[in-house]
Amino acid sequence: MNPRTTPPAYEFDGSSIGELPDGNETRSLRDILCVLGERMKHLATRTELRDVAVRVAVIEERVDGLATTSALSHLASRIGILEERMSHTATKAWVLGGTLAMLVGVLGGFWWIVQQYLAPLLHTVPQT
């Protein structure tokens, strides 16, 4: 029968060092070493920490790449929307042509009104 390495009162539960004797209790060195052994099982080695750091760096690079890809796709969709709106916008030539046509119409109407009012006045003026 294998003896238990950790006494029941000292099993690791993630709490603070309060499990170790505080001076008022007398515990054997074996009990203290059992508690420390259990805690050491839960600590990561430096190699494992380096591996985790490398994995985190790779994940961060991938997330940055995804963010960049997402931003570019968002910009591409916004550019598509702008191109669609600009294709329905009037050009300078179209605006200039419309302005010229309106100006000709207004001047023609003004000239017609002038003729309507001036023609009777000109007929009443005696010719010499």
What burial class does residue 35 get, using C-beta atoms within 10 Å of its C-beta: 0-12 exposed, 13-18 middle, 19+ buried?
A: buried
The tens place of each residue's pLDDT in the chain, 128 residues long, gives 444 454 455 444 444 444 554 555 667 778 888 787 777 777 767 777 788 888 888 888 888 887 788 888 888 888 889 888 888 888 899 999 999 999 999 999 999 999 898 888 878 877 76
Number of domains the chain is built from: 3
Give SS3 for 75.
Answer: helix
Residue type, 87: S
Does residue 20 contact residue 35 with C-beta atoms inside 8 Å?
Answer: yes
Does residue 20 contact residue 32 with C-beta atoms inside 8 Å?
Answer: yes
Are 37 and 53 part of one and the same domain? no
By residue range, what is the domain housing residue 103? 90-124
Total-model pTM? 0.35
Q: Which of 6, 1, 57, 53 is nearest to 30 (CA)?
A: 6
Are 108 and 74 part of one and the same domain? no
